Amino acid sequence: MTPDATVQQYVEALFQLLPPGRYWRRADRLTRLANMIAGLAPELARVHDRFLELMDELDPRTTVDLLTNWFELVGLPDPCVPESLQPTTPDEWRANIHQRVIAVGGSSAAYLETVAETLVGSPVVITSGVALPFRTSVNRCGDRLNLEENSYIFKVEAPAATTAAERAQLECWIDRIKPANSLAVYEYTL
């Protein structure tokens, strides 16, 4: 079938699917059968065309009917982005969805630094495996100097000049994309 199936194409295709033989060639049966096929063909052509439209809905760049389903799939509207900066038009939403679908992430410090620098607009340093120091008033004799849980802590150092809104957005994004078994500690001292 061609991309835009016509009723006539379906009528011809259905007749070609009939088995060979005298039974199907009798005029009275052929008339009734032709009427039935003529009645089925428009619906089959409509379903065919709707299926092709649905294929366009699978691509976030061309979706219309399933746009709200895409929102749910990729987590939009984004809780980490202020409402004033959220997309407003369907084309902006489609571009945002497409960007999220093709984004290649990771759990490396380099990836997290790239995301953080994009949000803050200046260099951000992420140090992984930051262990909390042994403290005499907290720890006891015999305690390990570095507990195993501390190896999953990483420190995010951002510029001290970042605003409260930028800090909130940075912390929201990092907490959302960091590995689930890790803990981020934030310092604004650069």
126-184 pLDDT, tens digit per residue, is 887 666 566 777 777 877 766 666 668 888 999 988 888 889 999 999 998 888 888 89
Q: From CA 45, how far away is CA 25, in angstroms rounded?
A: 25
Helix axes 164-177, 109-120, angle to 10 degrees: 150
Residue 2 pLDDT greater than 70, yes or no: no
Residue 47 is predicted with a pLDDT of: 93
CATH classification code of 109-135+147-188: 3.30.300
Residue 59 is predicted with a pLDDT of: 92
Residue 62 is predicted with a pLDDT of: 92
If 0-12 CB within 10 Å is exposed, 13-18 middle and 19+ buried, where does residue 10 land? buried
Between residues 140 and 116, the one the model is more confident about: 116
**What's the chain's average pLDDT?**
84
User: CA 116, 179, 107: angle at the middle one, nearest 5?
Assistant: 60
Under the banding of pLDDT at 50, 70 and 90, the label for residue 1 is very low
Residue 51 pLDDT greater than 60, yes or no: yes
